Chain A
Amino acid sequence: MKQYRTHLLVCAGTGCVSSGAFALKDALEKEIAGRGLKDEVLVVTTGCNGFCERGPILIVHPDNIFYQRLTPADVPYLVEEHLLKGRPVPKHMYVPSAGIEPVPRMSDIDFFKHQRLIVLRNRGRIDPEKVEEYIAYDGYEALAKALTAMTPEAVVAEVTASGLRGRGGAGFPTGRKWALCRREKASPKYIICNGDEGDPGAFMDRSVLEADPHAVIEGMVIGAKAIGAAKGFVYIRDEYPLAVARMGIAIGQAKERGLLGENILGSGFDFDLEIVRGAGAFVSGEETALIASIEGQRAFPRQRPPYPAQQGLWGKPTVINNVETWANVASIIRRGAAWFSSLGTETSKGTKIFSLVGKIKNTGLVEVPMGIRLRDIIFGIGGGIPGGREFKAIQIGGPSGGCIPKDLLDLPVDYESLTQAGAMMGSGGMIVMDQDTCMVDIALYFLRFTQEESCGKCAPCRIGTRQMAEILARITAGEGSLEDIKKLETLALTVKQGSLCGLGQTAPNPVLSTLRYFREEYLAHISEKRCPARVCKNLITFFIEPEKCVGCLLCLKNCPANAISGERKKVHVIDQAACIKCGACFNVCPAKIQAVAKYTGEEGRALLDERPAPAEP
């Protein structure tokens, strides 16, 4: 293999690609060729680095220098300074906050420093389209061990002893699931990877599939050997075209190398893997619904038991695990159950990937040991809330999860603590909310989501989510009554207890958790017709403060409803009757002026009475 003194690792995850990673790569290659560095420097495209918001990202290896938000125009100077003269370029480095020195090394950046990588260990360092690179970092070593030096029973025992639990939501012990399936006599048996990552706000499975597809394949072959399956399926969401493409390439390469297909590694074991693309239905993330979808049916869930481990795909014993769960398996076999279970808490072992998004400074994917405090994730890794705003809540677990308030920031992140707090590990989406997020509106957002995605098979979920969404819509419109809160609570209980599958059973969680921690916001909407976060359109009034307005015409030009009148250097006025409350004026008014204000409740109504809209000329 040819040696290079320096590798330039360009992140080619979905985030960086959309911010121009390929243009950056082309520019780098051209510049390097032009400077005669072609034999010394290699440009490599890697999977998602995790710090998506800073894209496009470039890591210079082995110096471990992290560059962010690069454009092709930055390339000539960067190549000359760093690669020819050996002087890293501070202006493209990460700066924690204004006035602080840039941090050159990736491992010193807060976002990366506190992470513990097992599943994402290869992120940003290998080319996911080259199996050699995966193998170079101990890839397929665990497979060799499982196929040649271990019995299937020993593999199941190792995974059981590691304490690994399902990473897709409910947290069922993986080893127990495998043992259950292994005991079944029926054949053939099947293995499924659930890559139907439907939770809005979570994208770790996409990232793993894009950045390290071989880790998933290796885990699945080991699992197949353990339970005695000869055929497996990787079910990937239709919205993830890049993940489908990379997985396809990886399967092809694994087959070529004898790591998949017939007589794997000469051990006599056969296992074949097929990709199935989802078709846009959130409910197909539920395991029995996903199985129906692979069978070519509508994704309707069915009653359990029997569990898929007993009767799954085509009625045969089937192990179905999530992408992140599969990606843990090889490391467990390679390094041992004792090593894995030394990480985490009593009941939750290992690490978990979270997507840290919303109103947070450092947005991206983070992998942390189980049991870490929420505070350490949000403020330690995430850098806190941008724009000097105040933290209000963190939503964990998607539409099945709940909102956790400030008082519980010291909560350890494990399956049990989160459930107790009214949220859920779910797939690991963490959406940070600040004072400008309305909690009733968030509850409505999730209930509209589940109502739309409910498959309609069982009445409690189909009708219950709709009724709850309608009540919430009424409250956000300022037309709710105190009776509505009671109705919500009763309905929530019915839907929780009466629904057939996880979708319905957890759908009320966003409502219950916001009612538990943010009841006063509901009361403000109902009793005072006030939206404390100034979000709910019916309850807010946009107003231009005459003493602040400089008459720059910006809001006037951007108003889609032509509701603003005024002239250059004269105070602008909003015609309240014509205002559609889109917020365009609020957004475009320059930060140093801030003349557009939002009022709610008594204050807002008083404004309307006091200063009527200008009369028609």
Chain B
Amino acid sequence: MPRKKKTGTVASGTVFPVMKKAAPSPGRTAAREVIGKYGGRKRAVIQVLQDLQERFRWLSVETLEAVALELDVPLAHVYSVATFYKSFSLEPRGRHICTVCMGTACHVRGGTAVLEHFERRLGIPAGQTSPGGEVTLERVNCLGACALAPLAVVDGRYYGQMNESKANEVLKPILAGRDAPPASDKGPVD
């Protein structure tokens, strides 16, 4: 369990007197709101971070600090959780998200070649965001839609039986700087 923390300080010794007194930042307000939803329970830190990431698309240092203060847990604890789990991004993510599945079924049906093709077309390695913040390329270990292998997800929409030419089609609007086709499924982005 997280250690008991003195008000306004975190394990690293950083003090936040200003943040405590200043008018609440948007991150702080959001954190308070989300934490309220989970009844202020300290164990809900993962859920809280998930909800905040859905709202801001990534977790900034300010957001992590706000969560630590509002939940009254050390910032080190929030940071350790945020860096341990892969769903969390501590860097801004692109306006478009491309995810290529690297599950076993996708692998034996050529998933690696698909990922490499995305990397070439987008000009960024997996796990990075294009300099202009247009697009983020991610890899995932399995989306559990193995019958559709190899699989890629672009802005929340699943594309099965991926290959080079299909990828070119799907990426065309993104590369042209326009919006990707609207997501058809109900799930959140990626």
Q: Are B144 and A203 in contact (CB under 8 A)?
A: yes
Q: Are B85 and A281 in contact (CB under 8 A)?
A: yes
Knowing A357-B149, A359-B108, A437-B108, say if A197 contacts B144 (CB, 8 Å). yes
CB-CB nearest in chain B for A431: B104
Distance (Å) between the CB of B144 and the closest chain A CB? 4
B62 on interface, CB distance cutoff 8 Å: no
How distant is the Cα of A442 from the Cα of B105 in the complex, in angstroms? Answer: 11
Chain B positions within 8 Å of A52 at CB level: 145-148
Knowing A280-B86, A582-B117, say if A433 contacts B148 (CB, 8 Å). no
Interface residues of B (CB under 8 A from A): 1, 42-47, 49-50, 80-81, 84-88, 102-105, 107-110, 113, 116-117, 120, 140-149, 157-160, 163-165, 184-188
Knowing A437-B108, A584-B164, A587-B164, say if A357 contacts B185 (CB, 8 Å). no
Q: Are B140 and A364 in contact (CB under 8 A)?
A: no
CB-CB nearest in chain B for A295: B43
CB-CB nearest in chain A for B190: A239
How distant is the Cα of A18 from the Cα of B80 in the complex, in angstroms? Answer: 35
A328 on interface, CB distance cutoff 8 Å: no
Q: Are A358 and B184 in contact (CB under 8 A)?
A: no
Q: Are A281 and B84 in contact (CB under 8 A)?
A: yes
Chain B positions within 8 Å of A566 at CB level: none
How distant is the Cα of A296 from the Cα of B73 in the complex, in angstroms? Answer: 11
Q: Are A280 and B142 in contact (CB under 8 A)?
A: no
Chain B positions within 8 Å of A296 at CB level: 42-46, 81
The contact of A293 among B46, B142, B188, by CB within 8 Å, is B46
Q: Which of A3-48 contact B (CB under 8 A)?
A: 14-15, 17-20, 22-23
Chain B positions within 8 Å of A558 at CB level: 164-165
CB-CB nearest in chain B for A510: B104
Chain A positions within 8 Å of B160 at CB level: 15, 18-19
Q: Are A395 and B104 in contact (CB under 8 A)?
A: yes
- In this complex, the interface size class of chain A, counting residues with CB under 8 Å from chain B, is 35 or more
Q: Are A357 and B144 in contact (CB under 8 A)?
A: no
The contact of B184 among A22, A293, A560, by CB within 8 Å, is A22
Looking at B102, B105, B163, which has the most chain A CB atoms within 10 Å of its CB? B105
Chain A positions within 8 Å of B43 at CB level: 294-296
How distant is the Cα of A442 from the Cα of B86 in the complex, in angstroms? Answer: 23
How distant is the Cα of A437 from the Cα of B109 in the complex, in angstroms? Answer: 9
The contact of B117 among A55, A431, A560, by CB within 8 Å, is A560
Q: Are B185 and A18 in contact (CB under 8 A)?
A: yes
Chain A positions within 8 Å of B81 at CB level: 296-298
Q: Which of A280-296 contact B (CB under 8 A)?
A: 280-282, 293-296
Q: Are A359 and B147 in contact (CB under 8 A)?
A: no
Q: Are A363 and B104 in contact (CB under 8 A)?
A: no
The contact of B142 among A23, A199, A455, by CB within 8 Å, is A199
Q: Are A239 and B148 in contact (CB under 8 A)?
A: no
CB-CB nearest in chain A for B78: A296
Knowing A358-B108, A433-B108, say if A239 contacts B117 (CB, 8 Å). no
How distant is the Cα of A163 from the Cα of B43 in the complex, in angstroms? Answer: 36
Q: Are B147 and A279 in contact (CB under 8 A)?
A: no
Knowing A201-B103, A358-B104, A587-B163, say if A279 contacts B46 (CB, 8 Å). yes
How distant is the Cα of A355 from the Cα of B104 in the complex, in angstroms? Answer: 12
How distant is the Cα of A560 from the Cα of B163 in the complex, in angstroms? Answer: 13
- 8 A-B pairs within 8 Å (CB atoms) are namely A53-B147, A202-B142, A239-B143, A281-B86, A358-B105, A358-B108, A558-B164, A582-B113
Chain B positions within 8 Å of A19 at CB level: 148, 160
Chain A positions within 8 Å of B86 at CB level: 279-281
Q: Are B102 and A200 in contact (CB under 8 A)?
A: yes
How distant is the Cα of A576 from the Cα of B48 in the complex, in angstroms? Answer: 53
Q: Which of A151-159, A240-248, A462-470, A516-524 contacts B (4 or more CB under 8 A)?
A: A240-248
Looking at B113, B142, B147, B157, which has the most chain A CB atoms within 10 Å of its CB? B147
Chain B positions within 8 Å of A560 at CB level: 117, 120, 164
A206 on interface, CB distance cutoff 8 Å: yes
Q: Are B105 and A201 in contact (CB under 8 A)?
A: yes
Knowing A198-B141, A200-B105, A298-B80, say if A355 contacts B120 (CB, 8 Å). no
Q: Which of A414-462 contact B (CB under 8 A)?
A: 429, 431, 433, 437, 442, 445-446, 449, 453, 455
Further 17 A-B residue pairs, CB within 8 A, beyond A276-B46, A358-B149: A14-B143, A14-B144, A15-B145, A199-B142, A202-B144, A278-B85, A281-B86, A295-B43, A296-B42, A296-B43, A298-B80, A357-B104, A359-B108, A433-B108, A446-B104, A560-B117, A584-B113
Knowing A203-B144, A357-B149, A429-B104, say if A238 contacts B87 (CB, 8 Å). yes
Mark interface residues in A93-124 (1 if CB within 8 Å of B CB, else 0). 00000000000000000000000000000000
CB-CB nearest in chain A for B147: A52
Looking at B86, B113, B186, which has the most chain A CB atoms within 10 Å of its CB? B86
A176 on interface, CB distance cutoff 8 Å: no
Q: Are A358 and B109 in contact (CB under 8 A)?
A: yes
How distant is the Cα of A199 from the Cα of B160 in the complex, in angstroms? Answer: 19
Chain B positions within 8 Å of A357 at CB level: 104-105, 146-147, 149
Mark interface residues in A357-389 (1 if CB within 8 Å of B CB, else 0). 111000110000000000000000000000000
A299 on interface, CB distance cutoff 8 Å: yes
Distance (Å) between the CB of A517 and the closest chain B CB? 17
Knowing A279-B88, A296-B81, A429-B104, say if A200 contacts B141 (CB, 8 Å). yes
Looking at A18, A242, A395, which has the most chain B CB atoms within 10 Å of its CB? A18
A480 on interface, CB distance cutoff 8 Å: no
Looking at A52, A197, A238, which has the most chain B CB atoms within 10 Å of its CB? A238
How distant is the Cα of A429 from the Cα of B49 in the complex, in angstroms? Answer: 31
Q: Are B107 and A445 in contact (CB under 8 A)?
A: yes
How distant is the Cα of A19 from the Cα of B184 in the complex, in angstroms? Answer: 10
The contact of A201 among B44, B85, B104, B120, by CB within 8 Å, is B104
Knowing A279-B46, A298-B80, say if A241 contacts B187 (CB, 8 Å). yes
How distant is the Cα of A17 from the Cα of B151 in the complex, in angstroms? Answer: 14
Q: Are B80 and A241 in contact (CB under 8 A)?
A: no
Q: Which of A150-202 contact B (CB under 8 A)?
A: 197-202
How distant is the Cα of A15 from the Cα of B116 in the complex, in angstroms? Answer: 24
CB-CB nearest in chain A for B102: A200
Q: Are A583 and B113 in contact (CB under 8 A)?
A: yes
